[in-house]
Amino acid sequence: MQAIAEVVSATVSSLVAQSLPSTASGGSGGLSKPRFGSFLRVGSADKKTAIIAVVNDVLTGPIDGVHRPSAFGLSREELKAQQPQIFSLLRTDVHASIIGYIENGRAYQHLPPHPPEVHDFVYHATASDIERATSDFEFLRLLSQATVGSIDELLAAAIREAYQARRNDDAFLQQAGQAFSQLFRSDYERLVSVLKKIKPH
């Protein structure tokens, strides 16, 4: 499994990882950009603990305060042909909310006792990882407390990703709806809004 990013800062509830060059698309070397709401697995040095997190933002910008991007008025293909060096001056940071961890084969759906280590590698979570991390819906409560701008969008996106990992299991969606009704039992309008955002098909 190829690492998609490397941790550059972390707390027990969130992490930031810098994307690594991808060889998935014909060896072009572009940066890996995981989907909003997708699940990540962060491996530890001892390989006994894996932290599970959900992508809450992806930011691309200059690698430092000196090399700032400028508009060229060119298509991406023209930029690659005429100014290929500008892409090496960009970095992509992945921000993610931690929702649990797997230790010695057992999944825990609460915050880990320790944050990931800086320079730990980040991978796309497997379907098995996602199923274990979302086997009940406590992770929704953790996500709903994340300090990000689009909480409702994040909740809906995470459910869509978990639904796909379960090969479009409609029973899971029904259970998710019940969990949301408990989470937002005092805010009916927000409940309806989140449920409308899920739209798996």
Q: For residue range 86-105, what is the model confidence (pLDDT) as tens digits? A: 888 889 999 999 999 999 88
Span 125-149, mean pLDDT? 91
Q: Which residues pair with 62 in a beta bridge?
A: 90
The yes-or-no verdict on residue 66 having pLDDT over 80 is no
Give residue 146's pLDDT: 85
> Side-chain half-sphere of 131: how many Cα atoms within 13 Å?
9
Which residues, 6 or more positions from 27, have their beta carbon under 8 angstroms from its beta carbon?
none
Q: Which residues pair with 50 in a beta bridge?
A: 43, 102
Residue 134: give the domain boundaries. Answer: 5-198
**Digit-coded pLDDT (tens) for 108-120:** 999 999 999 999 9
CA distance 140 to 158: 9
The encoded tokens of residue 33 equal: 């950009």
Based on the structure, what is the number of domains in the chain?
1
**Digit-coded pLDDT (tens) for 19-44:** 998 755 444 446 778 999 999 999 86
* CA of residue 104 relative to chain centroid, distance: 23
Q: Which residues pair with 165 in a beta bridge?
A: none
Report if pTM > 0.95: no
